[in-house]
Amino acid sequence: MNGKQLKNSILQWAIQGKLVPQDSNDEPASVLLERIRAEKAKLVKEKKIKKDKNESIIYRGDDNSYYEKFLATGEVKCIDDEIPFEIPQGWEWERWGNIALSIQYGYNAPAIERGDIKMIRISDIHDNVVQWKDVPFCNIEAHDIDTYLLKENDILFARTGGTVGKSFLVQFVPEPAIYAGYLIRTRYSQELCPQYLKSFMESQLYWEQLKSGTIATAQPNCNGKTLGRMLLPIPPKAEQTRLVQKLASLTPMFQRYAKAQQDLNNLNENIDDKLRKSLLQEAIQGKLVPQCSDEGTAQELLEQIKLEKQKLIKEGKLKKSALSDSVIFKGDDNKYFEKIGKTVTEVTDEIPFEIPVTWQWVRIKDIFQINPKNIAEDNCISAFIPMEKICATYWSEFSYDEVQWKAIKTGYTHFADGDVAFAKITPCFQNRKSAIFCNLPNGIGAGTTELKVLRQFGETINRWYLLFFLESSYFIDEAIFKGTANQQRIISGYLENKLFPLPPLQEQARIEKQIKAIASIMRG
């Protein structure tokens, strides 16, 4: 339960009469409502407000059912299906329209820097406080001002757009002000506690009724009629005061709980992220799964990769220079060396960690094709993948648009089914935008030039193991960038020359299986 859910639960207890003890000495709400009806009748007679044609009285019959009598017509109907829950003795169900002295739409006028009077918009209200310095002015005829003038304890109600239903209790008016046209002002008897009414307008019951009465259009909207028909429980006035006081005393608790919950969520997210990073790091160090001597060695994989290269060279698909691989080995002095041709260089300082004896350190450029090219007919349907269609997760998630190959064969990065790619630009790189491409239309595609694509030689490298490597802290955190502050890319050669810890192929598969199993548990 988060802070908002806790507050909603307590508000629900409040309007159900479960938050504070009942006092049998309280004046019943029925007497309170009779005074409000008398007050409204007096104001109608004095022509200060208009007579409500839909005014009604809600009561409970001898059969324990709830009925509503419309005063204008005398019609009586059962409303049991509208009553959401039982309320304590001394409370009454009532329509918002019956307790309201007026439900008034706002004034339509353009906002200006200088004018006759200030005009509050919903955007001027933050955390139930009006930002008066930001409230604009408007021009209005003098005889109209009184109609729209705000007074203390008025409640404003947003009737349209993304904020529909949002309410604001006016507790302080430092200078004369009216309210904008997409707001509704409700004004009600002083017999009622305004803070209690505001609490109701934050409750689940309020929002459920609002939702059912909201017109679903491109701009959701709700009118004064819907607001007037809303049912709300009315406690005795003394209990309204006790409820408001109790809710006020609980507000610091809501805030502390919400902060604690947010801190916990942040902690969980951080733990999840740290756990994933730790998991991937353990995997590429050979510490995630047990070693099995009968699974062969990485050296055998390198021989297979060499054979695949020779095959592609023979087919004219690869240059002979691709056979000029380096060999990294550990000397008798426990130092690491790299042999390229006849040249041997010590590379101990480059080795980030120890790996199992069956593994092998290799350069990325020696075991993968980097940014290979596709060949296809111009009218061939293929996948187009811009950066926004690659998800920033630890998993391979992407989508694509189908286009003809001729539209994307130039000016974009090529890839095909089985290729593994990652974003080379910040912050996409740090956010681990990466993917294993699969099930592409006709097996090919192209996309953003901000991708680096790796294609293996034959079936020599587990694609998921490669993805985990590219998402590991070892690969991400050690990257060097070049460019402007907002558009930095990994430097040329970082990927190509990066040392890659290569396990036997069967162990790569076991690593994939183990990580996916742990991730499944983490996701619940």
Which tens digit of pLDDT belongs to each residue from 157-177?
Answer: 898 877 888 899 998 899 999
Phi, psi for residue 331 in degrees, rounded to 5: -80, 175
User: Are the beta carbons of 115 and 87 closer than 8 angstroms?
Assistant: no
Strand-pairing partners, residue 181, are: none
Question: What domains are there in the chain, each with its CATH number?
Answer: 29-235 (3.90.220.20), 296-506 (3.90.220.20)
Mean pLDDT is highest, among 13-17, 359-363, 512-516, for: 359-363
User: pLDDT value at position 277?
Assistant: 82
pLDDT band at 366 (very low <50, low <70, confident <90, very high): very high
pLDDT band at 382 (very low <50, low <70, confident <90, very high): very high
Mean pLDDT of the chain: 91
Q: pLDDT tens-digit profile of 214-264?
A: 665 556 778 888 899 999 999 999 999 999 999 999 888 878 877 777 766
User: pLDDT value at position 271?
Assistant: 54
User: pLDDT value at position 278?
Assistant: 86
Name 361's Cβ contacts closer than 8 Å, sequence gap at least 6: 328, 336, 351, 355, 499, 500, 501, 502
Instruction: Say if residue 184's pLDDT is above 60.
Output: yes
User: pLDDT value at position 333?
Assistant: 94
The two structure tokens encoding residue 312: 């592609």
* 239-243, 263-267, 340-344, 385-389: least confidently modelled range: 263-267
The two structure tokens encoding residue 519: 């991730």
Report the run of H or E that residue 228 belongs to, with start and end: helix 224-228
User: pLDDT value at position 128?
Assistant: 80
* 108-112, 130-134, 229-233, 266-270: least confidently modelled range: 266-270
C-alpha angle with apex 361: 358 to 366, nearest 5 degrees?
A: 120
Q: Average pLDDT for residues 362-366, to the nearest whole number? A: 95
Instruction: Say if residue 4's pLDDT is above 80.
Output: no
User: Are the beta carbons of 418 and 438 closer than 8 angstroms?
Assistant: yes
How far is residue 305's CA from residue 296's CA, in Å, rounded to a whole number? 15
User: pLDDT value at position 263?
Assistant: 67
pTM of the predicted protein model: 0.55
Percentage of the chain exceeding pLDDT 70: 95
Q: Average pLDDT for residues 431-458, to the nearest whole number? A: 96
Q: Which residues of 399-419 are buried (b: 16+ CB within 10 A; e: fewer)?
A: ebeebebeebbeebbbbbeeb
Extract the runs of DSSP E, i.e. beta strands, from 229-377.
231-234, 326-330, 336-340, 343-346, 360-363, 368-370
Instruction: Say if residue 341's pLDDT is above 90.
Output: no
SS3 category, 509? helix
Q: Average pLDDT for residues 471-486, to the nearest whole number? A: 90
Strand-pairing partners, residue 68, are: 58, 77
* 1-5, 310-314, 361-365, 433-437: least confidently modelled range: 1-5
Q: Which residues of 285-294 are buried (b: 16+ CB within 10 A; e: fewer)?
A: bbebbeeeee
Q: Average pLDDT for residues 359-366, to the nearest whole number? A: 96
